Amino acid sequence: MKISARHREGITILEPKGKITIGVGDVALREAVHEALDAGAKKILINLTNVSTVDSSGIGEMVSAYTTVTHRGGQLKLVGLPPKVQDILQITQLITVFDVFDSEDEAVDSFEG
Amino acid sequence: MAADSQQVHLAIASRLENIELVQIAVEASLGQLALSEDTSHWIGIAVREAVANAIKHGNRNDPDKQVEVDFGIEDDTVVVRVADQGEGFDPKSLPDPLSPDNLLRPNGRGIFFMRKFMDDIEYTFRPEGGTVVTLRKKLSPSSKAEGGDQEEEEQG
């Protein structure tokens, strides 16, 4: 799993590609979020368009990222959920926790501050 | 479909990267059943969770301990057994991941996923040590890929 990072209007956009699963993708996501935070990012958007699979460790890592960013006074949001990732968020009821958007423009506009 | 046409037995060392090997084997077997992509995906996730738990919690990542996976079809039901060499646990002691207190916990959803994506999940504890989790998923017509039964219907 690869994660690329880019910046747009003061927002760090992380784009994982592949599986966010135990032992590989979950660790990569954690590292990417921590790198962004260490670089001073306060607004992080994870674009999940190219994610094929999320398992319980992957969803756990997304929750950890959310709580870590929030505790540091930042915002973390999601965009481009493939149907199976959307299903996972529904099943776990985490859809009520995350701010989720269909389009990147909409997500970028939603960040406060 | 012959009752034992897709029998697979795997024994892997307890390394997380070996989950991919199991997934490849399971997907290859499921691929012969003309299941819908969704059904195959969710069965694959459930098997991944079972193997991950066996490696991490059962065998505590000890590569000298094995995880055995048996995959097969019994009476139109996908049956997967995952056995570890660990000390076992009490399945009733697991917290509810949907409870508001647990919603933001980073872990504790593996068995929940297995229950969600399969019809039945059963734990047995072997007297000699080790836990066996058995996952079952009945193959209903909706499990099949669209058009998967077309040929049979036309012939029949």
- The C-alpha of B41 sits at a distance from chain A's nearest C-alpha, in angstroms, of 9
- B135: containing domain: 8-155
Range A36-50 average pLDDT: 98
A26 in any annotated domain: yes
Residue at token pair 């691929």: B31
B99 in any annotated domain: yes
- A77: containing domain: 2-103
Interface mutation target, options A56, A66, A91, A93, chain B, most CBs of B under 10 Å: A56
- The C-alpha of A87 sits at a distance from chain B's nearest C-alpha, in angstroms, of 11
CA distance A74 to A58: 21
Token code pair at residue A43: 């607004």
Do strands A51-54 and A99-101 pair parallel, antiparallel, or not at all (unpaired)? unpaired
Token code pair at residue A9: 């209007």
pLDDT at B155 over 60: no
pLDDT digits (tens, 9 = 90+) for B52-89: 999 999 999 999 999 999 999 999 999 999 999 999 88
B54 in any annotated domain: yes
Q: Could you give the number of structural domains in chain A?
A: 1
Residue of chain A with shortest Cα separation from B47: A55
ipTM value:
0.92
pLDDT digits (tens, 9 = 90+) for A14-23: 999 999 999 8
Contact A53 B41 (CB under 8 A): yes
Q: Could you give the number of structural domains in chain B?
A: 1
> Residue B122 is part of a domain; what is its CATH number?
3.30.565.10
- The C-alpha of B70 sits at a distance from chain A's nearest C-alpha, in angstroms, of 21
Token code pair at residue A113: 């501050």
CA distance B127 to A58: 34
B2 in any annotated domain: no
Residue of chain A with shortest Cα separation from B115: A91
Helix (H, G, I), strand (E, B) or coil at A77: strand
B41 in any annotated domain: yes
CA distance B154 to B31: 22
pLDDT at B119 over 50: yes
B116 in any annotated domain: yes
Token code pair at residue B142: 């909706």
**Would you place residue B4 in the very low, low, confident or very high pLDDT band (cuts 50, 70, 90)?**
low
Residues of chain B neighbouring A84 (CB-CB closer than 8 A): 38, 41
Q: Which of residues 58-87 of A touch B (CB under 8 A)?
A: 59-61, 63-64, 66-67, 84
B1 in any annotated domain: no
Residue of chain B with shortest Cα separation from A67: B104
A22 in any annotated domain: yes
> Residue A50 is part of a domain; what is its CATH number?
3.30.750.24
